[in-house]
Structure 1
Amino acid sequence: MQIDRNTIKLLRIPFSFFLMPLFLFAFSQAKNIAWFQASLSFFIIHFLVYPASNGYNSYIDRDEDSIGGIEKPPMPTESLFYVTVFLDALAVSLAYFFVAQFFAFCLVLYIAASRAYSSKQIRLKKYAVIGFLVVTIFQGAFTYYMSMAGITGNPLPLNRDTVFILLGCSFQIAGAYPLTQIYQHKQDLRDGIVTLSYKLGYRGTFIFTALMFVLCNLFYYLYFQSRDSGMIFFIIQLFFVPIVLYFFYWFYLVSKNTENANFTNTMRMNWIAALCMNSCFFVLIIIKFFL
């Protein structure tokens, strides 16, 4: 199996930065941290599982137009498929033997959902609502739950507080995900995919995203209030400010001209959101462990 430069590129390893916030959030809220297992879990999720998911999606879709993180993607080769299988197998093996069996089981579920989302046989992504729900659940609540399993070595107990935070995580992804689809309407339609963003339209996508983030904030507020940590909630709001400002500025641009719902502005939104949220949860980690 020859691994060429284009195969590495289609794994989109830097794109894992955009998916990092929920792991950092889980780390900031974990009570008992197994440091070696937590570090290995971070590596497994962000450098094995996410790149494998990206690569498999590129292998199946064979995108000719812009995709997340790559404006002009190269054509995938057969080696990309085998690399994704190897990365997934390595991820589950490392998790099973060096982290926790339950964490490995969570990874298997996540990988199965990711494959079902992209595969030609099941192709969940072609269904607007079902595809949206799969991404919202597995990249939201389930990712937080899976991350916590890797960080602590134990399943997250389900109670009122954890239900609040799991809902908050899923609504956070529910808000972000349609925006990532907004520049791909024509490309998706050519591939037989009708996304939620397409159904909502340009203006509707922004309104829907705003509503999802309101619900996200509501459940974060309920979570931190239930833990007598209301100040942490307001710290999070400070980091949300740049995201909100650019969001409304971009909404204004798209309202004037839908051509502004393009790859460049989408990636700019992604970068601002990722930088702010990763910084936010890193600050929460510092507050918890060093202050």
Structure 2
Amino acid sequence: MAELHIGSTLAHLRLPFSLLLLPVYLFALGEVPSPNTFHALVVFIVLHLFIYPASNGFNSYFDKDEGSIALLKHPPKVSSSLYYTSIMLEWAGVLLALLVSLHFAVCVIIYNSFSKAYSHPSIRIKKYPMLSFLIVFLFQGAFIYYSCYHALSMGEAGQEAPVWMAGLVCSCLIGASYPLTQIYQHEEDARRGDRTLSMLLGVRGSFIFSAMLFLAGSCLLYYYWNTRDERANFNLYLICFTPVIGYFLFWFIRCMKDPAQASFGRTTVLTLLSGLFMLIYFGSLLFLH
């Protein structure tokens, strides 16, 4: 039985899913003029091996999904070990964050607090479509970018890179995928009493909302690189994201003909495709930098 609990806990931590948020860290790392190498390693470990998995596990414990969730087609039943593991990972991450700075540790605590409020039954921000979107939009994008940039630059203000604009780019690109990750869960979310953004928008509206936010993020990114006379970085962005845009349009057309195409499988393909090319893009920028 213990082994089953261990397997279930590891599955719900969704470590591969945490890597899909890696581009925000890579973007910040690439924009810091002279990053502290030790801090860079600790920040990566804290976020991607402790904080993100802890958030995934905590939310899974209270959601108790029976249907497919992000990267898990058949999620195993949750147990109390998942809850305690997520809490231990969370606070271990906070302690490790202190190796960087008190400021970074406070940022981690703030992120943890809003992450827990997202699914905890006493607050459950997830029930409110616009508020839940804004929490994900802000904290998985701009807030994490700011936290990483501040930690990696040792608190020095980014004169070469406007931190707020880069953070907003991250928020737009992450927010663009948010309703599409919920598009196949309408029935299960409704059973729990949650009203997600995708339910509010509908299938067609979810695609239109995502397209508009992606376009906004792309325009901001163009302005960001153009003001720094680095337009080649935006040209690389267009090349990297052409396959993602192509699949998005293909899936959108299929869903308009048959709403059943708004499925876990299609969502997973788009999630992995966009995550892969975001990693390629921001990883390439880091290498070039």
Q: TM-score normalised by the shorter chain: which range applies?
A: over 0.9
Q: Deviations over 1:162-190 (max 9, x none)?
A: 22222211111221111111111111111
Q: Once the 2 structures are TM-superposed, how far is the Cα of residue 151 of structure 1 from its aligned partner? A: 2.4
CA–CA separation in structure 1 for the residues paired with 2:159 and 2:248: 33
Contact 2:32–2:158 at 8 Å: present in 1 too? Answer: no
- After TM superposition, the score normalised by the length of structure 1 is 0.95
Match of 2:237 in 1: 236
The alignment partner of 2:246 has SS state of helix
CA–CA separation in structure 1 for the residues paired with 2:159 and 2:285: 22
Q: Once the 2 structures are TM-superposed, how far is the Cα of residue 127 of structure 1 from its aligned partner? A: 0.1
Which consecutive unaligned segments of at least 5 residues does structure 1 have? none
1:55 pairs with one of 54, 57, 62: 57
- Deviates further, 161-170 or 71-80: 161-170
Match of 1:8 in 2: 10
Alignment of 1:75-114 (within 5 A): 75-96=77-98, 98-114=99-115
Task: Give aligned-pair identity as a percent.
Answer: 38
Q: Once the 2 structures are TM-superposed, how far is the Cα of residue 228 of structure 1 from its aligned partner? A: 1.6
- Deviates further, 100-109 or 161-170: 161-170
Match of 2:68 in 1: 66
RMSD, matched Cα: 1.5
Contact 1:38–1:152 at 8 Å: present in 2 too? Answer: no
- Deviates further, 222-231 or 72-81: 222-231
Structure 1 residue runs of 4 or more that deviate by more than 4 Å after TM superposition:
155-160
CA–CA separation in structure 1 for the residues paired with 2:159 and 2:13: 34
Alignment of 1:111-130 (within 5 A): 111-130=112-131
Compared with structure 1, are the counterparts of its residues 286 and 124 closer, same or farther at alpha carbon in structure 2 (3 Å cutoff)? same
Which consecutive unaligned segments of at least 5 residues does structure 2 have? none
Contact 1:11–1:52 at 8 Å: present in 2 too? Answer: yes
The alignment partner of 1:52 has SS state of helix
Contact 1:175–1:209 at 8 Å: present in 2 too? Answer: yes
Q: Once the 2 structures are TM-superposed, how far is the Cα of residue 281 of structure 1 from its aligned partner? A: 0.7
CA–CA separation in structure 2 for the residues paired with 1:218 and 1:253: 27
CA–CA separation in structure 2 for the residues paired with 1:143 and 1:242: 26
Q: What amino acid is aligned across from residue 265 of structure 2 in structure 1?
A: T
CA–CA separation in structure 2 for the residues paired with 1:156 and 1:253: 47
Compared with structure 1, are the counterparts of its residues 56 and 232 closer, same or farther at alpha carbon in structure 2 (3 Å cutoff)? same
Q: What amino acid is aligned across from residue 195 of structure 1 in structure 2?
A: T
- Deviates further, 112-121 or 17-26: 17-26
Match of 2:249 in 1: 248
Q: Deviations over 1:219-263 (max 9, x none)?
A: 111111221212111111111111100000010111110111000
Q: What amino acid is aligned across from residue 239 of structure 2 in structure 1?
A: L
Alignment of 1:215-234 (within 5 A): 215-234=216-235
Contact 2:31–2:161 at 8 Å: present in 1 too? Answer: no
CA–CA separation in structure 2 for the residues paired with 1:159 and 1:206: 35
The alignment partner of 1:154 has SS state of coil
Q: Deviations over 1:193-222 (max 9, x none)?
A: 111111111111111111001100111111
Match of 1:172 in 2: 173
Match of 2:214 in 1: 213
- After TM superposition, the score normalised by the length of structure 2 is 0.95
Match of 1:282 in 2: 283
